[in-house]
Chains A and B, each alone.
Chain A
Amino acid sequence: MTAADPLASAGQDRWAEATQLRLTWWRFRRHRLAVISLVIIALFYLIAAFADFLSINDPHATDARRSFIPPQAIHFFDENGFNPHVYGLRGVRDRQTFQLVYTPDPNRKLPVQLFTRGYTYNLLGLIETDIHLIGVTGAQRGEGIFLLGTDQLGRDLFSRMIVATRVSLFIGLAGVTLSLVLGVLLGGISGLYGGWVDTVIQRVIEVLRSIPTIPLWMGLAAALPNSWSTLQVYFAITIIISLIGWTDLARVVRGRFLALREEDFVVAAELAGASQGRIIFRHMLPSFMSHVIAAVSLALPAMIVSETALSFLGLGLRPPAVSWGILLQDAQNIQVLSGAPWLLSAAVPVILVILAFNFLGDGLRDAADPYG
């Protein structure tokens, strides 16, 4: 007998009274890769939330004098000990290509400082400020910290990538939220009522899924009026992406509803005289919420990749909006790439986030049903 057992340790007691969330967490914790991924994703969202604070230079500021500056390193020590600085730049005309090549000038040191003043922005959309995490003092025009170099128009790639994180990650979230609403609603109706409603919804899903996505997106994106503002395009793209995305979630939800309807504990609640609402919200929803969360974490990277692909093809967001896809668009040209390969580094966060989300989704899916 569990409770009367004098040998029952405190640990066992904790286990006996653990809620589903607890059990899921305990099981999730064992999945190392997923936990690391969770940390990475959390970091990325933190970066997105404080993008302007973290960016060094104005991501939209162009300057012809500093185009295609290669990545610069921050030097932490010099002959005087700890003294973080970057080198100033000296433009030298290449005798063969006649291109202006920037070389670091070790004689000019620009001290790097924390919490410097830069361009003005709204912190979290609330507080207007011009404080940035790092910056240099005493920079002449065209100088600054370019950790990942600059693009053709002289915009700082590092700052642009940080600001792009915000757009790219939140378009994923917004798209998934919309898909989730559609998916849970339609999947729920489908699984709960069955019959012809189910048939109609399932056929719609099949038709939607049978359309090749890229041409569909291209068609829809091409239909967006040119006169729309960046913000309007942003929302339209979100809707377009989630239009396909909801089908997967709807299937998951429907499947769970169908399976749970036959489950003994649901029958028991029905036989006890519980109302339909109670059965759905007290018994069925909590039973498959974890599956939905896992499905969402697997749907998110697909959304992010969709946005990146669309923007890369020039069908998604348009400049001056900054997203990973738009940054990669600059890296389309092989001539540009041969001269400025650092532009390709915009692919790194995409790969990192997608991998992290996939591992997280895997971990969540394994932990989702701690009773199975």
Chain B
Amino acid sequence: MNILDVVDLKKHYPIHAGLLRREIGRVRAVDGVSFHIAKGETLALVGESGCGKTTVSRCILRALAPTSGSMHFSLAEGQSVDLAALPKRALRPLRRHMQMIFQDPYSSLNPRMMVGDIIAEPLKVNGVPAAERNARVLELLELVQMPASARSRFPHAFSGGQRQRIGIARALALNPRLIVADEPVSALDVSVQAQIINLLLDLQDRLGLSMLFVAHDLSVVRHVSDRVAVMYVGRIVEIAPTDALYRSPRHPYTETLLAAVPAPDPTLRGRRMKATGEVADPSRPPPGCAFHPRCPYAVERCRVERPELTEIAPGRFTSCHRAGEIELAGVTG
């Protein structure tokens, strides 16, 4: 069963100019993205800065209103709602079913509230009685491996990693059906990153979480995700099960990202490929395949015809004209 079915999601920002505020163009931050998340599954959404992955996550949570497309969210067996079609007011009772883990552990916790109140807030606004709230806060603190004494402290007393644990506890408070984690570890030190990743893995095991895990590089994703979707300039260029994607990427952009994963083997340094050039401007994407100006395998067809996301093997989708012809390097081990 799918928790979330996203079909052809678009989020465009109009560019206005002049006295009459005429629309002169659009930033296509998200331009037709489709994917699904099965129950208990973690899907990683990966791409460089500005590729639209954060916009996708904010659209799903309806912190942003999508321009078009549908997002079917399952509430119970055989019952689902289209999040894209609901007005903001109707969303409030649904919010408890999907929660977010933020990137910045500093700005995501209100510095004026005690940690106990921060974690209890989702419970409080959804009408959980006070006694139950207290018990649940203690349970959650234990779940994220924080001492119970943290309750009466303020966020300023905690380090980035500890704050992120508090943020995770808050996200879990209502037992949401879906968790959207927006780069939950990229603001943390590498050593702390590992702790948080381990915590998330542990929580996946214990709670069977369904999660959309947004990240800007592939190094952290491998451990947490079941499948990976790679985004480039507002579109998904490849979706595959994690292992398959790492072993044999089918899109040149994925290969580039994989090459950026630090490998603990100095002999590999020579044959790494580097991404040249800049990410395309989403208000003026290049014709054809958006990646062609940076792609070492680009041919004439890539410059004129835009490739569609097609299934090339069971569960493997890629949008590359040359998917069948070229041999791309993955990572082993």
Contacts and interface: CB of A to CB of B under 8 A. Distances in A.
A17 interface: yes
A235 interface: no
Interface in B23-77: 61, 63
Interface in B124-161: 125-126, 146-150, 152-154, 156-158
Interface stretch (B95-103, B285-293, B312-320, B324-332): B95-103
Contacts of A80: none
B121 A272 contact: yes
B154 A273 contact: no
Contact of B147 (A1, A269, A271): A1
Nearest to A18: B154
A2 B160 CA distance: 12
B93 interface: yes
Contacts of A2: 147, 150, 153, 157-158, 162
B95 A272 contact: yes
Interface in A6-42: 15-20, 23
Interface-centre pick from B96, B110, B152, B174 (highest chain A CB count, 10 A): B110
Interface in A247-278: 263-265, 267-275, 278
Contact of B107 (A16, A265, A272): A265
Given A3-B147, A274-B125, A264 B154 contact: no
Interface residues of B, number: 37
Contact of B125 (A265, A273, A370): A273
Contacts of B150: 2-3
A287 interface: yes
Given A17-B152, A269-B121, A4 B147 contact: yes
A181 to B, nearest CB: 23
A273 B173 CA distance: 13
B108 interface: yes
B156 A264 contact: no
B102 A268 contact: yes
Contacts of B152: 17
B156 A3 contact: no
Contacts of A77: none
Interface string B229-257: 00000000000000000000000000000
A339 interface: no
A interface residue count range (under 10 / 10 to 19 / 20 to 34 / 35 or more): 20 to 34
A275 B109 contact: no
Contact of A268 (B100, B126, B158): B100
A117 interface: no
A273 B126 contact: yes
A60 interface: no
B125 A278 contact: yes
A287 to B, nearest CB: 7
A20 B112 CA distance: 6
Contacts of A17: 114, 152-154, 157
A283 B111 CA distance: 10
Contacts of B100: 267-268, 271
B5 interface: no
Nearest to A272: B122
A270 B122 CA distance: 9
Interface string A276-290: 001000010011000
B160 to A, nearest CB: 13
Nearest to B103: A264
Nearest to B157: A16
Nearest to A289: B112
Contact of A273 (B96, B104, B149, B170): B96
Contacts of B154: 16-19
A263 B106 CA distance: 10
A264 B102 contact: yes
B147 A286 contact: no
Given A263-B107, A264-B104, A268-B100, A275 B125 contact: yes
Nearest to A2: B157
A228 interface: no
B9 to A, nearest CB: 18
Contacts of A273: 92-93, 95-96, 122, 125-126
Nearest to A286: B112
Nearest to B170: A268
Contacts of A82: none
B108 A264 contact: yes
A98 interface: no
Contacts of A3: 146-150, 153
Interface in A276-318: 278, 283, 286-287
A371 B156 contact: yes
Interface-centre pick from A23, A264, A270, A273 (highest chain B CB count, 10 A): A273
A275 B150 CA distance: 26
Contacts of B99: 271-272
A268 B61 CA distance: 11
B130 to A, nearest CB: 16
Nearest to A372: B111
A271 B153 contact: no
Contacts of B107: 263-265
Interface-centre pick from A263, A267, A283 (highest chain B CB count, 10 A): A267
Given A2-B147, A18-B154, A271-B61, 14 more contacts: A2-B157, A15-B157, A23-B156, A264-B104, A267-B100, A268-B170, A269-B110, A269-B121, A270-B63, A271-B100, A274-B125, A370-B156, A371-B111, A371-B156
25 contacts: A2-B147, A2-B150, A2-B157, A3-B146, A16-B156, A17-B157, A264-B104, A265-B109, A265-B110, A268-B102, A268-B108, A268-B167, A268-B170, A270-B63, A271-B61, A271-B95, A272-B95, A272-B99, A272-B174, A273-B93, A273-B122, A275-B92, A287-B110, A287-B112, A370-B156
Interface of A: 1-4, 15-20, 23, 263-265, 267-275, 278, 283, 286-287, 370-371
Identify the 8 closest CB pairs spanning chains A and B, nearest first: A16-B157, A3-B147, A264-B108, A273-B95, A272-B122, A3-B149, A265-B110, A264-B107
